[in-house]
Copies of this chain bind each other. A is one copy, B any other.
Amino acid sequence: MKYAGNDNDLLPSWNDGPAKQAIVSFVARVTTPGGEDFVAEAERVAVFDNDGTLWPEQPLYVQYVFAFDRVAALLPEHPEWEEQEKFRAVLSKDLGRLATLTQRDILDVAAASHGGTTTEEFKQIVGDWLASARHPRFDRPYTECVYQPMLELLAYLRGRGFKTYIVSGGGIEFLRVWAEDIYGVPPEQVVGSSIVTAFEMREGEPLLLRRPEIDFVDDKAGKPVAINKFIGRRPIAAFGNSDGDLQMLQWVTAGEGARLGAIVRHTDGEREFAYDRASPVGRLDKALDEAEERGWTVVDMKRDWRRVFPFETE
């Protein structure tokens, strides 16, 4: 699918300004045959963080909400959870109490709530949950609460010969259920965190079982490691929004030739959320400092986005 049109027309939800200009000019540089910065299609790899970059992560990561709902659903089979503060905090859905949990607690809850099924069953569970869950503020399914400008950007890059990948701290098998429908990113282009999965023959039928144990956390220094492992090429463009994307941005933009590093900055409390250095969810601090030093593009949501969500009317 190649577009012949003017690049600016392909990003209608982006205001004219430095962010849009940086993106369009980068794409022109790497796609102009014979140009100094021309990059062959096979090497046009662009990676996107998901939470806070392609959809909101406030008031809580969407997958945390899924995990908490799973804990509630699984509670009858796990009465012992009622005795543990990490599960009690989760069941309370009290943000203040949740904020007291350690990273280890969160990983324990994630493992417990994401394991114990086959991979096929898990797909079904995620699909069913997405069909009924709604964003607490926008009161719509989460899959409708995605950033319209980023949908346009994904399609625009693919139209210019890029392969678009998601590289998320979220679960790889959680994302794959809906990333193709919503973002046009197929399963083999989704990289994420994982839990231990084991092959087992059960009555002659081969199954993949998800164990309640963390395998890999695709965040911070894990992101460039996972990109190298899954893709085997250094991308030429990376889009993130928090310090969890810092190492990915560093690694991608340190490669030779033209590179684009970009950070979505949450500056629009009216249409979305406004947060940065002090936020426990999606903290943007070091990466914002490095953006200036390293020449990364900062996408200021309030300034640069004409429209935030597909459901907004003009």
Q: Mark A163-177, 1 if CB is under 8 A from B, else 0.
A: 100000000110010
- Verify if A221 is at the interface (C-beta below 8 Å from B): yes
- Verify if A244 is at the interface (C-beta below 8 Å from B): no
Q: Which of B186, B194, B229, B231 contacts A42 (CB 8 A)?
A: B186
- Verify if A161 is at the interface (C-beta below 8 Å from B): no
Q: Which of B197, B201, B221 contacts A199 (CB 8 A)?
A: B221
Q: Which of B199, B205, B221, B224 contacts A224 (CB 8 A)?
A: B199
- Verify if A233 is at the interface (C-beta below 8 Å from B): yes
- Verify if A119 is at the interface (C-beta below 8 Å from B): yes
Interface residues contributed by chain A, number (CB under 8 Å) = 32
Q: Which of B190, B224, B232 contacts A190 (CB 8 A)?
A: B232
Q: Name the distance in Å between A9's Cβ and chain B's nearest Cβ.
A: 28
- Verify if A208 is at the interface (C-beta below 8 Å from B): yes
- Verify if A225 is at the interface (C-beta below 8 Å from B): yes
Q: Which of B172, B231, B247 contacts A229 (CB 8 A)?
A: B172
Q: Which of B194, B205, B208, B232 contacts A187 (CB 8 A)?
A: B232
- Verify if A230 is at the interface (C-beta below 8 Å from B): yes
Q: Establish whether residues B228 and A197, one from each chain, have CB atoms under 8 Å apart when the complex forms.
A: yes
Q: Establish whether residues B247 and A206, one from each chain, have CB atoms under 8 Å apart when the complex forms.
A: yes
Report how many copies the assembly holds.
2
Q: Which of A183-240 contact B (CB under 8 A)?
A: 186-188, 190, 194, 197-199, 201, 205-206, 208, 221-222, 224-225, 228-233
- Verify if A251 is at the interface (C-beta below 8 Å from B): yes
Q: Establish whether residues A225 and B247, one from each chain, have CB atoms under 8 Å apart when the complex forms.
A: no
Q: Which of A244-277 contact B (CB under 8 A)?
A: 247, 250-251, 254
Q: Which of B188, B224, B229 contacts A206 (CB 8 A)?
A: B224
Q: Establish whether residues B228 and A119, one from each chain, have CB atoms under 8 Å apart when the complex forms.
A: yes
Find chain B residues with CB under 8 A from A199 CB. Answer: 221-222, 224-225, 247, 251
Find chain B residues with CB under 8 A from A254 CB. Answer: 205-206
Pairs across A and B, CB under 8 Å, 24 listed: A119-B228, A172-B229, A172-B232, A173-B232, A176-B232, A186-B232, A187-B232, A187-B233, A188-B188, A188-B231, A194-B229, A197-B228, A198-B221, A198-B225, A199-B221, A199-B222, A199-B225, A199-B251, A201-B250, A206-B247, A206-B250, A206-B251, A208-B224, A230-B230
7 tightest A-B CB contacts, nearest first:
A187-B232, A199-B221, A206-B251, A206-B250, A176-B232, A199-B224, A188-B231
